[in-house]
Amino acid sequence: MRTSNFPIHLLLIIGGIAMVLPFFWMLSTSLKTPLEALRFPPTSWPSSMQFSNYTEVFRQIPLWRYFANTVLVTALSLFGVLATGVMAAYAFARFRFPGREVLFMGFLALMMIPLPVYLVPSYIILFKLGWIDTYAAMIVPWTVNIFAIFLLRQHIRQLPNDLFDAARIDGCSNWTTLRKVVLPLCKAPLVTIAVFNVIASWNSFFWPLIVTNSDKIRPLQVGLAYFSREQTTNYTLLMAATTLAVIPLILLFFAAQRQIIQSQARSGLKE
């Protein structure tokens, strides 16, 4: 039965090298001198490693600021998504009120509308609120994630009714039921939502590109994109900045690999 797996491994390894090579090249270039980076044929690994590239990047762009901005935006929008998501999902799953199903369908329909359709008027609304180039512009519109509401609602609806009856008999209010009964049972979907949301907001580019215009507010991705446009020749510094920008998420990925991959895989099985 068990034939030789050698050809399979060979194919997978070749593919794997292709996957990793760009990252290796990024790291390698980030440690070269500008002269060595431009040499052709290229050297695979720097002959003397220039760690000073990394300190130089911090001197040229406010990288700490970008980091802090990204962390702040990611954390606050995640907090919003979880809070609004849990409340809305509980309402859709447990309360009866007229128009509930229509409203829920409306939410789902909104999920299908692509960004360009609502982008410009949202920008104008943010402008009228005086929020352009503030954290609020990057956070507030993204404190609701319809997919999160959908996922949590499905999960809460699957919980047995007896559980809620028991809670009511014990005199629990809806708040207490939510906190003590529902949330502990929703760990898997909550982790999925958190994973999706952190990756998405850490990497988001289009929205912050449009609603920010100063270095003080800009998140990492936008800062890096502008830096890359200025640095069309100085690739060592650019690669150092890029390495710094991808490292936190790669570390997060290695730490939470299982959850990330499983929750993504699960999303494809939902139909």
Binding segment toward other proteins, per CB under 8 A, in 45-53, 54-62, 162-170, 256-264: 256-264
Choose, by CB under 8 A, the member of 62, 65, 67, 107 that binds other proteins: 107
If one asks whether residue 249 binds other proteins (CB under 8 A), the answer comes out as: yes
Choose, by CB under 8 A, the member of 134, 188, 225, 259 that binds other proteins: 225
Q: x-or-dash pattern for other proteins, window 173-212, by CB under 8 A?
A: -x------------------------x--xx-xx--xx--
CA dihedral 178, 184, 186, 192 (to 10 degrees): 130
If one asks whether residue 146 binds other proteins (CB under 8 A), the answer comes out as: yes
Choose, by CB under 8 A, the member of 57, 73, 90, 189 that binds other proteins: 90
CA distance 255 to 237: 28
Nearer to other proteins, 84 or 154 (CB): 84
If one asks whether residue 34 binds other proteins (CB under 8 A), the answer comes out as: no
Binding segment toward other proteins, per CB under 8 A, in 48-56, 58-66, 84-92, 157-165: 84-92
How many residues in total does the chain contain? Answer: 271
Choose, by CB under 8 A, the member of 26, 72, 132, 190 that binds other proteins: 26
Choose, by CB under 8 A, the member of 140, 159, 181, 191 that binds other proteins: 140
Q: How far is the CB of 116 from other proteins (least distance, A)?
A: 4
CA distance 93 to 177: 13
The residue whose two tokens read 């008027």 is 121
Choose, by CB under 8 A, the member of 34, 165, 228, 255 that binds other proteins: 228
